[in-house]
């Protein structure tokens, strides 16, 4: 049963609680946009007409007589119509129109006050529960991945483990892990968190893959509550770069090897066997090997949890590895990536925004690495959250994944959210995990 949570006007929950007592919403901004669709859940049936009441405040004062210009188009698509409205007592109504096919429409607004322009947008959905992925599963999809997993498994589980004193607390022990992936010297790093004095056979294990980019593991203790509440958590990077390097070093590496045209998500996309992400996907499976080898593992529960690219990798690992018993994903990337071929939003990294990406070879490779095809294989309980205003991992693609799942599933939908999740949402995911332990 899909669970929905609307956060439209709960301003204080938008930012971490540490800011609430000292800062206004939005953070240190003089202006506030409020958009109120005439359906409280922001959802319409195809053919229904949607309207949105727009409110605009400066210093908390409704702005009367201000002109709001707008453009309206499909999710991540060019504008189809445009116009303007004049605010009366800080409010106006914009007609969003309708859609004949399931999907989302995006109203992108601009208001100019005292010579400065302010932008905002709002997306509403039309029968999104009927969105189907454009991406099809290759006939030899399972064979391809079974063969690659079998080849990777021939390399023995090999890793180093070093106490990370900076991230140990009175309740948590932390270790820096270097996990070897193959005999070519390729590896991944991660921080492994244990409950202090964990007993043999007592702990569920949780793998946390990272979001996109070449970067360090920021704030390793941010999710220390997993270990504090009895779980072993392995938070990884995917590029074989030691997270103890400085941010400056990571930035230099990213600038050199992760440009728009030569980024790792483009690397080898012409050939399914040479694509960069093959090693990453198999690295997630090898991470499960490590976690299930730990004597403190309870022998039953293996969970994968992540957001964005990490959400994609959580779903992918769950589809690849039948040891996984539950999955949690925020706004997954790499989802229905070729959806643009259907004239609608496709998934991050939005390959078709770069020239030369729309080739038969690249499209073929994408299908072997697309989240929707791994979602078709998932059988265990899965919990996904996403927002409608997300332009990084657009809602069209999250629905394409969610609607494909044939397993027990739940969704937390937060319409106003762009590409972020609140601390409360993230802690709630641990609570969901604990309720689904075997």
Residues labelled catalytic: 308, 390, 419
Q: What angle do CA 324, 185, 192 make, to 5 degrees?
A: 40
In DSSP terms, which residues pair with 232 in a beta bridge? 205
Query: What is the spatial distance between Cα 223 and Cα 235, in angstroms, rounded to a whole number?
Result: 10
Q: Which residues contact 152 (CB under 8 A, 6 or more apart)?
A: 181, 182, 282, 285, 286
Query: What is the spatial distance between Cα 336 and Cα 196, in angstroms, rounded to a whole number?
Result: 41
- State the greatest distance between any 2 C-alpha atoms of the chain, in Å, as a whole number: 70
SS (H, E, C) 159-170: EEEEECHHHCCC
CB 422 within 8 A of CB 406: no
Nearest alpha-carbon partner for 211 in 332, 327, 302, 385: 332
User: Which tokens is 304 given?
Assistant: 């994968």
3-state secondary structure of 138: coil
In DSSP terms, which residues pair with 81 in a beta bridge? 72
CB 421 within 8 A of CB 330: yes
Nearest alpha-carbon partner for 357 in 341, 336, 369, 373: 341
Residue 207 class from Cβ within 10 Å (0-12 exposed, 13-18 middle, 19+ buried)?
A: buried
CA 344 to chain centre: 19
Query: What is the spatial distance between Cα 276 and Cα 309, in angstroms, rounded to a whole number?
Result: 14
């Amino acid at each position: 049963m899909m669970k929905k949570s609307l956060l439209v006007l709960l301003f204080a929950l938008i930012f971490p609680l540490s800011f609430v007592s000292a800062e206004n919403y939005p953070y240190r901004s003089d202006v506030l946009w409020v958009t109120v669709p005439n359906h409280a859940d922001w959802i319409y049936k195809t053919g229904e007409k949607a309207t949105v009441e727009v409110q605009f405040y400066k210093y908390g004062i409704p702005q009367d007589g201000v002109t709001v210009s707008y453009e309206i188009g499909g999710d991540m698509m060019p504008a189809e119509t445009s116009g303007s409205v004049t605010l009366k007592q800080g409010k106006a109504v914009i007609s969003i129109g309708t859609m004949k096919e399931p999907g989302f429409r995006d109203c992108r607004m601009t208001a100019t006050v005292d010579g400065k322009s302010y932008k905002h947008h709002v997306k509403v959905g039309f029968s999104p529960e009927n969105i189907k992925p454009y991406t099809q599963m290759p006939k030899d999809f399972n064979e391809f991945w079974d063969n690659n997993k079998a080849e990777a498994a021939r390399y023995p589980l090999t890793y180093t483990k070093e106490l990370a004193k900076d991230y140990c607390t009175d309740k948590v022990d932390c270790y820096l892990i270097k996990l070897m992936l193959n005999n070519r010297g390729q590896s991944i790093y991660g921080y492994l968190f244990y409950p202090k004095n964990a007993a043999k056979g007592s702990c569920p294990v949780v793998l946390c893959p990272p979001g996109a980019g070449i970067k360090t593991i920021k704030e390793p203790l941010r999710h220390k509550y997993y270990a504090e509440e009895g779980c072993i958590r392995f938070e990884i990077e995917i590029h074989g770069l030691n997270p103890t390097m400085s941010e400056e070093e990571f930035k230099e590496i990213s600038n050199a090897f992760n440009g728009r045209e030569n980024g790792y998500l483009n690397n080898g996309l012409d050939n399914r066997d040479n694509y960069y992400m093959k090693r990453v996907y198999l690295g997630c499976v090898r991470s499960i090997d490590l976690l299930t080898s730990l004597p403190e593992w309870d022998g039953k529960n293996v969970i994968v949890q992540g957001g964005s690219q990490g959400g994609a990798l959580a779903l992918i690992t769950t589809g690849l590895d039948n040891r996984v018993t539950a999955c949690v994903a925020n706004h997954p990337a790499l989802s229905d990536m070729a959806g643009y071929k259907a004239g609608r939003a496709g998934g991050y990294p939005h390959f078709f925004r770069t020239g030369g990406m729309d080739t038969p070879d690249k499209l073929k490779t994408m299908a072997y690495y697309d989240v929707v095809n791994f979602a078709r294989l998932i059988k265990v309980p899965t919990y996904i959250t996403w927002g409608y205003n997300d332009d990084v991992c657009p809602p069209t693609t999250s629905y394409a994944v969610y609607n494909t799942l044939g397993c027990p599933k739940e969704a937390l939908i937060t319409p106003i959210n762009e590409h972020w999740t609140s601390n409360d949402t993230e802690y709630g995911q641990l609570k969901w995990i604990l309720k689904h332990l075997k």
